[in-house]
Amino acid sequence: MIWDSWGAFWEMGGSGPFVWGSYGVTTVLIVAELIMLRTRRVSSTRKLNRLMRAGHGRKLPEVQGS
């Protein structure tokens, strides 16, 4: 262990706000990307399923899939 204590670890030699601000925001962005990806998958399959059922086998109308 290169840190004397957990306090020293969070302190980061006085650079705590900069180091943890970097790692914190990165973590939040990664989690946000994963949530957005999941939301999109769920909403997209739901929408396509609805259109498929409404279409009864006919060619589906153009939808925006963004």
Binding site for another protein (CB under 8 A): 1-3, 9, 12-15, 18-19, 21-23, 25-26, 29-30, 33-34, 36-37, 40-42, 44-46, 48-49, 51-52, 59-60, 62-66
Question: How many residues are given for the chain?
Answer: 66
Question: Looking at this protein, which amino acid is placed at residue 55?
Answer: G
CB of 56 to another protein, least distance (A): 12
CB of 66 to another protein, least distance (A): 5
Question: Looking at this protein, which amino acid is placed at residue 28?
Answer: V
CB of 7 to another protein, least distance (A): 13
User: What does the alpha-carbon distance between residue 66 and residue 51 come to, in Å, rounded to a whole number?
Assistant: 15
Residue where the block lists tokens 């989690």:
31
